[in-house]
A and B are shown apart, each in its own frame.
Chain A
């Protein structure tokens, strides 16, 4: 036999279920459509480097963009410093370049794994990781 308590509980459960379904349905236009369209458009407008590194400042963006402009895809980019933080993006943003710890190379080396080191006329690039930004130095 259904008791008043049972009815109240069924009502409460039904309300929570309807709230779940209603909240989900209400959020579809804004979240599934508008937010996603805005995000994809921003990605296309800014490109992957600026999209991912915007919060880490212009210095970080310029460092990665400079390496991309100056180095061939089959090259090696050196790094040192704090790898946790924005530097975590570097291997994916620079792919198919390999991002390699600087201390793994002997002084004076010009290639690694048969690939040239990424460089410009001023010297070999070294990305320096900080917790809040990426710096570009030369070796």
Chain B
């Protein structure tokens, strides 16, 4: 029996286009994630130690990742969380063919667009592309680009994983400066494929093959990914890799697989600044997990990955400015937040999610009140970042911008041409079928916390007008979270496909990995 096929083989007249699709997708996804999780710490540690990056590091890590995934697959490691209950029917060939055709028709032009030119977007070119040049092996941090603060480059201290990956791939293309094809831009299509595989894999485990194909098509057909512009597949932005890491963490949460959750949490802070907050939210979401045998292992894996990521990012950040690695205040603060979150979770895990939610809401209100008192001090400080934060807190607590905030938020959520209908579906489900989400409280908490934090970040960290922030930044944050929303919607999609509510224990319950 094919693993992950929900206990059923397709009838001979309706054989799937791809034999054992879930197993193949799981293997590919594991290999890709393992390669990333080997390369990220290795490259960071070499740079922190002041050593040059060898060109062979990237292929070596991905070869090891592939080998590990294949060995694990062959050994019959618990790659699946078997679903209880009756088998669900396989996906019809027409659905598979349509999904594959749609995927190919939007991915092929993106691959061509990625290879044809350097990134054609602002951040993709001015920020990430330039840093990829600086990180191309045999790069080290002794170059003037890094050690001289007078050398100007955009976002020098941003998390380095994406430019490290781009630089690594660029070094493999032989003569990078004169290369006709911009191989380093292939990471966009690769992360997009990995994102699709991740949603497919989660869908297969949670809701069966039909729903998996449908959810994958829904994620792929989100216009903002394939239309040229900020955050598109070939834009060179880090939003797509971050969306993949978020989906990985969400998949690990919902299918109770510690390695998958840890991989997502490890990658998040190393990809984009907000990834550190998303990793924290993944830890906090575990507060809401139902008691089950996998929960302690999930919490340990999540904490270890978060601490490792915070240490790697925190130690590398000063090195990117030519300073020695040190225990900086941001590093200590993030480590403290992760450990405190874990400790609080240990104290209140078995006291019920409602009590935890009340405690969190009270803590958030207290933090807001404290921030309101601190706002004048921050606004009067000499640090531009603190001044901006002070202004943001003023903006939030004065309620003067409330109509603009609400309208801007709603407009972005329901900007169908860019993000599609995912958040409309989510709101319909939250309003009228909350039980669809209730079976996975940790995923629901992760998504709600993420969307709330994304929304609050707009007034708190706005550098320009609110309307510009909603268009330029909040839209991309919503895009990052959209695959998580699709994973949360999987039971609902299953219900729509199977024309009725699935019995409890079929869609909602997944056995913990043992």
Contact = CB atoms under 8 A, between A and B. Distances in A.
A63 to B, nearest CB: 15
Contacts of B129: 92
Interface string A12-48: 1110110111011101100111011101100110001
A110 interface: no
A79 interface: yes
B133 to A, nearest CB: 6
Contact of B102 (A14, A25, A101): A25
Nearest to A114: B144
Interface string B366-406: 00000000000000000000000000000000000000000
A99 B148 CA distance: 11
Given A20-B422, A40-B117, A92-B126, A32 B105 contact: yes
Contacts of B499: 10
Contacts of A100: 148, 150-152
B420 interface: yes
A98 to B, nearest CB: 5
Interface hub of A13, A14, A23, A39 (most chain B Cβ within 10 A): A13
Contact of B493 (A17, A24, A91): A17
Contact of A35 (B221, B228, B500): B228
Contacts of B496: 10, 13-14, 17
Contacts of B432: 9
B417 A52 contact: no
Interface string A48-91: 10011000000000000000000000000001000100011111
A23 B417 contact: yes
Contacts of A138: none
Nearest to B234: A36
A95 interface: yes
Interface residues of A, number: 47
Interface hub of A20, A31, A87, A99 (most chain B Cβ within 10 A): A20
Contacts of B122: 52, 88-89
A16 B424 contact: yes
A87 B122 CA distance: 11
Contacts, number: 142
Interface string B223-238: 1001110000010000
Contacts of A79: 152
Interface string A93-124: 00110111101100000000100000000000
B130 interface: yes
Contact of A32 (B218, B227, B424, B501): B227
Contacts of B223: 23-24, 27, 31
A117 B196 CA distance: 48
Contacts of A48: 117-118, 125
A21 B148 contact: no
A43 B217 contact: no
A35 B177 CA distance: 27
B495 A10 contact: yes
A92 B148 contact: no
A68 to B, nearest CB: 15
A14 B425 CA distance: 9
Interface string B119-137: 0101001100110010000
Contact of B117 (A32, A44, A96): A44
A36 B109 contact: yes
B217 A21 contact: yes
A106 to B, nearest CB: 12
A61 B126 CA distance: 16
A28 B220 CA distance: 11
Interface in B188-219: 214, 217-218
B166 to A, nearest CB: 13
24 contacts: A13-B425, A13-B428, A13-B492, A16-B421, A17-B496, A20-B221, A21-B221, A24-B102, A27-B223, A31-B228, A32-B106, A32-B227, A36-B109, A36-B110, A36-B112, A43-B116, A43-B120, A91-B153, A95-B130, A95-B133, A96-B133, A96-B177, A99-B153, A100-B150
